[in-house]
Chains A and B, each alone.
Chain A
Amino acid sequence: MPSIAKPVAVHPSLHKNELGLTVRDYEGTMSTLCAGCGHDSVTAAIIRALWELSTPPHMLAKMSGIGCSSKTPTYFVSGAHGFNSAHGRMAPIATGANAANRELTYIGISGDGDSLSIGLGHMCHAIRRNVKMLYIIENNGVYGLTKGQFSASADIGSKSKRGEPNRMAPIDSVSLGLSLGATFIARSFSGDKEQLVPILKAGLAHRGFAIVDVISPCVTFNDHVGSTKSYLYTRQHARKLTESDFVPPATEILATIGQTGTTTVTMHDGSVVRFTAVPGDYDPTNRQRVTSYLQEHQGQGEVVTGLLYLDESVPDLHEMSNSPDRALSKIPYEKLCPGAAELAKLQEEYR
């Protein structure tokens, strides 16, 4: 993973966001992934979402584990601290980082091996803690860096490059999230930036833990006939459940809530997610209904995409812990140390 710096050339016509930054300011070093890798499209969508949200680069923390997906934080927002940690351990490291400083925006990039095998337990518990972060699983059903082994998300019957079929049931992050009480669950496709960007923005605005499972085909090891995570298969089987639109907190836009044919959910920070093209019986805030809808369509071999479930009523880790509004790491030491007099007094109890 040598890092190759991109040439700095800013075209004067590039738009600027609220911070006066262009999309280029949200880029990182050159990707070293295979040409055509789905992950690079996800990176592009992340860059777009962060730029559109005007997230100050230095207020972003990019967390990852190990794997092809976990390399990608170097490919966006060079002005943010990144942490490429250990295989499967991103969730606890991000949890600790978030515990120390809740003022930052956290993006965790993981893969299906990282999240659904070696780090499965950690992801489950991060969901339970409702750690405020955007947690992206770049899901390609395969181990790329070790050359093509099935991952835990490989579907039954999906074939490896050598033609062997997978016989074990997949772990589905969406169903798992629903059963664990996840508060934001989305699935998208790396090839569908229009759907993905608003989902990422909504995930970043979410009150707690936002899982976004992105089907991101591996062009080298899992893009052949017989794979259920290929570009072709995903394009043929993806069923767009919802189109969503993320509306930042601003009064004049809030006025659009309630239009016929849409469902809106107001986020904790006052922004709005507007669902369009939602089937009549689909309520993205009803866990039971979402579960049965997904099971039904999964049974039909469909990959249901969109922002599938959202609950803004659950407190995040800090709210549950009654933390101060500002970062714990910034509390002055004088406020933390009880001092000599108190130590003397306390010790009367140890007599």
Chain B
Amino acid sequence: MHQLLRTRVNDFAVKLANVNGTGSASANGLLMQAIFRMGIPVSGKNLFPSNIQGLPTWYEIRVNKDGHTARALDYDLIVAMNSQTYARDVHEVREGGFVLYDSSWPLDKTLIRDDVTYLGVPFAQLCNDHFKDPRERILMKNIAYAGAMIAAIDVDMEIVTQLLDEKFSKKKSLRESNLTALKLGYDYAKENFQCPLPFYLEKMDTTADKILIDGNTATALGCVYAGVTVAAWYPITPSTSVMDAFRAFCDQYRRDPETGKNNCLILQAEDELAAIGMVIGAAWNGARSFTSTSGPGISLMGELLGLAYYAEIPAVIMDIQRVGPSTGMPTRTQQGDIMACAYASHGDTKHILLFPANPAECFEFAVKSFDLAERFQTPVFMLADLDIGMNDWVVPRLTWDDAYRPDRGRVLDLAEIEKLPKFLRYTGEDENHVASRTLPGVHSKGAFFTRGSGHNKFGAYTEMPDEYQDVVERLLRKHKAAAKFVPAPVIQHREGARVGIVTIGGCDPAVREAIDLLPQRGIETDFMRIRGFPFDEEVEAFLNAHDVNFIVEQNRDAQLRSLLTLETGVAKEKLRSVLAFGGFPLSAKNVIDGILEQVGEPTHAIHS
């Protein structure tokens, strides 16, 4: 069957089907990391269940020499290690592709396709022969298939050995058993199959200045660098690893070398209502503070987000979006919280949103979130998602400017308070419509009563229409002013394009790939990735400059498009939707199909 596939170097996709809780994650991660170290553009997508042990889990590796590493939907090789999903997995391999499976047991005849090649390795048998402990037999089976993969696609064995050395530097016996298992699979494949397969790896030099990191780790690191001293959270997938990483970084960087004290306090709250309350309390008191959560947490935080908005207290919320509504699918990705965050809470509320597209932006935007929250004295949401947050991405090395100092916004210090005849909380707005605040514990002249109830510009309780409106109208102006401060959209023009593709967050690589492929179908498009809300004029200008804009996002209700319709003056007819919201990371195919479906056969109007 080999002849069905033309030989391809550094351009293919592999899907690994496993049972969760068996240790497959470390085998898959090992392969991904080895390819990264070979200098080849690569991505790894973990499609895992909301379960501890026993349910199907997949891992997809895509290598692409041109840097297109969004999720591929056609797989050249399936590593079928889960008999529960054999049928589905075998079905997904592309015509002429390969299926690597455990041949310790015969394959059911119904699973045989005549257009794919089956590579059977008796993994279970090999491991049973070489390892005694039942748990070890299961774990090592995974390392054994990694060994077979290494032979099949030509992963650099030296790099793999080096990775194992690093990983097990303190556990020599584990290093030995891993190497044994690796060799079992590797040798069997070498002896029994024509290795490498028609698609294989060759070293490149594209990743020397890059790192392999997940978004949640990068977000946590951003919070450390931003100077956070109080964090509060309630465990929720897929945001939990933000706080896990934050705690680990605090152990590393926030233990005072002189006193041994912790220069950060992490509160595991009783629920998300409490978590956001703690953040608001800490920020009211002058600490940089954040919470990490996901959709259900956002719903619970609603009431207090309105309090922070109305009483003008900074707060940073890291929302790692998952599939809703309700409990939804906790381990699947979506961009379904855009509207919920933009207008979180009852009454007239509007918030500042940041949309990172990858872990590097998670780091950068995490820091930015605190500057904006304090500059504008308001909640700021950073909306990542499960794909960005929990998958390892290849991104440029993170950089830091040691000259950075936090923008604490307008906070009066002791000398400034003493000089005032009288402190009146919501008076004296600056060009961004922000008034000065004071912190407790500085001077009694700075004291005021923070309240979520109706207040006038002096901070005093009111039920009078004009006094109430005066304040909330300023809040609206303040929100608008933030448009200039949120990260600007990323815009790329192509010669002759009259169609725009607009997207957000983790859709970025799939959309970019689609834009590169669409000209083959006769469609030239310009690209805009929105990175912040409120929208700046540049966003509106882009939309207006194109006859048609396809808004690509991962939710059913076209939430970004809705927000653009509500918050810009662009004609609704100019905005069309391409939606993919089933819960897996976006693929360029989703985008291309979605656009072609709407434009039909390319016309002269579109390909000008």
Asked if A and B are interacting partners, one says: yes
- Which residue on chain A has the smallest CB distance to residue B454? A1
Structural contact, A337 and B230, CB atoms closer than 8 A: no
Task: Give the size of the chain B interface in residues (CB under 8 angstroms).
Answer: 76
* A84-B451 contact, Cβ under 8 Å, with A100-B230, A350-B211: yes
**A207→B469 CA distance, assembly (Å):** 44
- A95–B406 CA distance with the chains assembled, in angstroms: 24
Give bound CA distance, A43 to B266, whole Å.
34
Binary CB contact string for chain B from 273 to 299 against chain A (1 if under 8 A, 0 otherwise): 111011111111111010000000000
List the one stretch of B149-157, B255-263, B348-356 in contact with chain A.
B255-263
Known: A3-B460, A329-B229. A101 touches B440 (CB 8 A): yes
Residue from the list B211, B263, B271, B284 in contact with A324, Cβ < 8 A: B263
Residues of A within 8 A of B307 (CB): 85-86
Within 8 A of B (CB), among A90-112: 91-101, 103-104
Q: Give chain A interface residues in 115-161, CB to chain B under 8 Å.
A: 121-122, 124-125, 129
The answer to whether the Cβ of A166 comes within 8 Å of any Cβ in the partner chain is: no
* Nearest A-chain residue to B207, judged by Cβ: A351
- Which residues on the A side are within 8 Å of B406 (C-beta)? 333
Report the separation of the CA atoms of residues A59 and B441 in the bound assembly, to the nearest whole angstrom: 5
The answer to whether A93 and B281 touch across the interface, beta carbons within 8 angstroms, is: yes
Q: Interface centre among A63, A343, A346, by most B CB within 10 Å? A: A343
Smallest Cβ distance from B40 to chain A, in angstroms?
14
- Give, as a whole number of angstroms, the nearest-CB distance from B202 to chain A: 20
Partner of A58, one of B217, B405, B440: B440
How far is it, in angstroms, between the C-alpha of A45 and the C-alpha of B488 when the chains are bound?
Answer: 55
B130 contact set on A, CB distance < 8 A: none
Contacts of A84 in B (CB 8 A): 449-453
Select which of A94, A122, A323 is within 8 A of B270 by beta carbon. Answer: A122
- How many angstroms between the C-alpha atoms of A336 and B450 in the bound complex? 28
Tell whether A350 pairs with B213 under 8 Å between CB atoms, given A97-B284, A322-B260, A343-B399.
yes
Chain-B contact segment, one of A10-18, A72-80, A187-195, A250-258: A72-80
Q: Taking the complex as formed, is B401 at the interface, i.e. its CB lies under 8 A from any CB of chain A? A: yes
In the complex, are the beta carbons of B274 and A122 less than 8 A apart? yes
Q: Does A261 contact B (CB under 8 A)?
A: no
Decide if A92 touches B281 in the complex (CB within 8 Å): yes
Q: Which chain B residues numbered 186 to 220 have a C-beta less than 8 Å away from chain A? A: 211-213, 217
Partner of B225, one of A73, A337, A351: A337
Interface check A284, CB cutoff 8 A = no
Interchain CB contact under 8 A, B277 and A89: yes
* Chain A residues whose C-beta falls within 8 Å of the C-beta of B212 in the assembled complex: 350-351
Please give me the residue from chain B that is nearest to A28 by CB atom: B449
Asked if A318 is an interface residue, CB under 8 A from chain B, the answer is yes
Q: Smallest CB–CB gap between A60 and chain B, Å? A: 8
Whether B254 sits at the interface, judged by CB under 8 Å, is yes
Pair B447/A323 contact, Cβ less than 8 Å: no
Which residues of B are found within 8 Å of A327, using beta-carbon distances? Answer: 285-286, 441
Give min CB distance, B400 to chain A, whole Å.
Answer: 4
Contact for A81 among B221, B282, B283, B440, CB less than 8 A: B440
Contact partners of A2 in chain B: CB under 8 A = 461-463
CB-based A-B contact count at 8 angstroms: 230
Cβ of B168 < 8 Å from any Cβ of A?
A: no
Tell me the minimal C-beta distance from B253 to chain A in angstroms.
5
Chain B residues near A92 (CB, 8 Å)?
232, 269-270, 273-275, 277-278, 281
Chain B nearest CB: distance from A181 CB in Å? 15
Of B213, B224, B229, B253, which contacts A100 at CB under 8 A? B229
Are A340 and B401 in contact, with the CB atoms below 8 A? yes
Bound: A73/B279 CA distance, A: 22
Binding site secondary structure of chain A: helix
**Contact at B229–A101, with CB atoms within 8 Å?**
no
Inter-subunit contact B443/A58 (CB<8 Å)? yes
Bound Cα distance from A261 to B266, whole angstroms: 45
On whether the beta carbons of A96 and B453 are closer than 8 Å, the reply is: no
A56: which B residues are within 8 A, CB to CB? 444
B450 x A321 contact (CB < 8 A): no
CB-defined contacts of B400 to chain A, threshold 8 Å? 339-340, 343
- Tell me the nearest residue of chain B to A57, going by C-beta: B444
Q: A95–B253 contact, CB under 8 A?
A: no
Q: Is the CB of A96 within 8 A of B447?
A: no
Is B304 within 8 A of A89, CB to CB?
yes
Task: Check B398 against A343 for contact (C-beta < 8 Å).
Answer: yes
Given contacts A3-B461, A95-B281, contact A338 B211 (CB under 8 A): no
The minimal Cβ–Cβ distance linking B150 to chain A, given in whole angstroms, is: 19
Q: Which residues of A contact B451 (CB under 8 A)?
A: 83-84
Known contacts A74-B449, A92-B274, A96-B281; is-contact A324 B230 (Cβ 8 Å): no
Query: Does B397 reach chain A (CB closer than 8 Å)?
Result: yes
Interface check B541, CB cutoff 8 A: no
The answer, yes or no, to whether A61 is at the interface (CB within 8 Å) is yes
A96–B282 touching, CB < 8 Å: yes
Pairwise interchain contact B256-A335, C-beta atoms closer than 8 A: yes
Please measure, in the bound complex, the distance between the C-alpha atom of A185 and the C-alpha atom of B211, giving whole angstroms: 54
Interface contact A351-B229, CB-CB below 8 Å: no
Known contacts A3-B460, A336-B254; decide if A121 and B270 are in contact (CB<8 Å): yes
Cβ of B264 within 8 Å of any chain A Cβ, yes or no, is: yes
Determine the chain A residues whose CB is within 8 A of the CB of B450 once the complex forms: 81-85
Instruction: Check if B262 sits within 8 Å of A101, measured CB to CB.
Output: no
Whether B447 pairs with A336 at a CB distance below 8 angstroms is no
- B411 CB to nearest A CB, Å: 11
Chain B, Cβ-Cβ closest to A122: B274
Any chain A CB within 8 A of the CB of B442? yes
Point out which of A58, A323, A330 has the most chain B C-beta atoms below 10 A from its C-beta: A58
Task: Check A96–B280 contact: CB distance below 8 A.
Answer: yes
- The 0/1 profile, CB within 8 Å of A marked 1, for residues 64-106 of chain B is 0000000000000000000000000000000000000000000
**Residue B303, interface by CB 8 Å:** yes
Q: Which residues of the other chain, B, contact A121 by a CB distance below 8 angstroms?
A: 270-271, 274
Interface status of B37 (Cβ within 8 A of chain A): yes
Residue A347 lies at the interface, judged by CB distance under 8 Å to chain B: yes
Shortest distance between the CB of B406 and any CB in chain A (Å): 6
Instruction: Determine the distance from Cα of A91 to Cα of B271 in the docked complex, in whole angstroms.
Output: 12
**B444 engages A58 (CB within 8 Å):** yes
Point out the residues of chain A lying under 8 angstroms from B485, CB to CB: none
Cα distance A91–B304 when bound, in Å? Answer: 13
Please give the distance in Å from B403's CB to the nearest CB on chain A.
Answer: 10
Question: Considering only CB atoms, which chain A residue lies closest to B461 in the complex?
Answer: A1
A328 at the interface (CB under 8 A from B): yes
CB neighbours of B289 from chain A (8 A)? 96, 100
Residues of B contacting A58 in the complex (Cβ-Cβ under 8 angstroms) = 440-444, 446-447
Q: Is the CB of A328 within 8 A of B227?
A: no
Closest to A96 in B: B281
Are A93 and B461 touching (Cβ within 8 A)?
Answer: no
Asked if A281 is at the interface (CB within 8 A of a chain B CB), the reply is no
Tell me if A99 and B274 are in contact (CB < 8 A).
no
* Cβ contact within 8 Å between B285 and A101: yes
Given A322-B260, A338-B225, A97–B461 Cβ distance below 8 Å? no
User: How distant is the Cα of A28 from the Cα of B287 in the complex, in angstroms?
Assistant: 27
Q: Bound complex: CA of A89 vs CA of B278, how far in Å?
A: 9
Among B211, B254, B259, B267, chain A packs the most CB atoms within 10 A around the CB of B267
Q: Tell me whether A35 is interfacial, beta carbon within 8 Å.
A: no
Complex-state Cα separation, A125 to B273, whole angstroms: 12
Per the bound structure, the CA–CA distance linking A85 and B284 in Å amounts to 11
Q: B402 contacts which chain A residues (CB < 8 A)? A: 339-340
A-B contact pairs, 13 of them (CB 8 A): A1-B453, A2-B461, A81-B440, A92-B281, A96-B278, A97-B281, A99-B265, A99-B282, A100-B230, A324-B256, A328-B230, A344-B397, A351-B36
Given contacts A81-B450, A97-B281, A343-B225, 15 further A-B contacts (CB under 8 A): A82-B449, A83-B449, A92-B277, A98-B281, A121-B270, A318-B265, A322-B260, A328-B229, A329-B285, A335-B256, A337-B227, A338-B224, A340-B401, A344-B397, A351-B36
User: Lowest 5 A-B CB distances belong to which pairs?
Assistant: A96-B281, A79-B444, A92-B277, A96-B278, A100-B287
Seen from chain A, the residues whose Cβ lies within 8 Å of a Cβ on chain B are 1-3, 56-59, 61, 63, 73-74, 78-86, 89, 91-101, 103-104, 121-122, 124-125, 129, 317-318, 321-325, 327-331, 333, 335-340, 342-344, 346-347, 350-351
